[in-house]
Amino acid sequence: MRWFLSVVLYTALSLGANAQGVERGVDLQAVQALREGTMKKLIFAETPAEVAQIPFVDPEGNEHRLADWRGKYVVVNFWATWCGPCRKEMPELESLQREFGNDNFEIVTIATTRNTLPAIRRFFSEIGVTDLPILIDNNSALASQVGVFGLPTTLLLDPEGREIARMRGDANWYSDSARAIAAALAAGAG
Using alpha carbons, list the distances in angstroms from residue 53 to 6, 64, 187. Answer: 34, 9, 26
Tell me if the pTM is above 0.85: yes
Task: Name the CATH superfamily housing domain 2-186.
Answer: Glutaredoxin (3.40.30.10)
In this predicted model, what pLDDT tens digit does every residue of 21-68 receive, in sequence order?
A: 232 479 999 999 999 999 999 999 999 999 999 999 999 999 999 999
User: What is the reported pLDDT for 141?
Assistant: 97
What's the gap between Cα 46 and its chain centre? 18
pLDDT average, residue stretch 96-123: 97
Give the C-alpha separation, 77 to 89, whole Å.
10
In this predicted model, what pLDDT tens digit does every residue of 65-81 receive, in sequence order?
A: 999 999 999 999 999 99
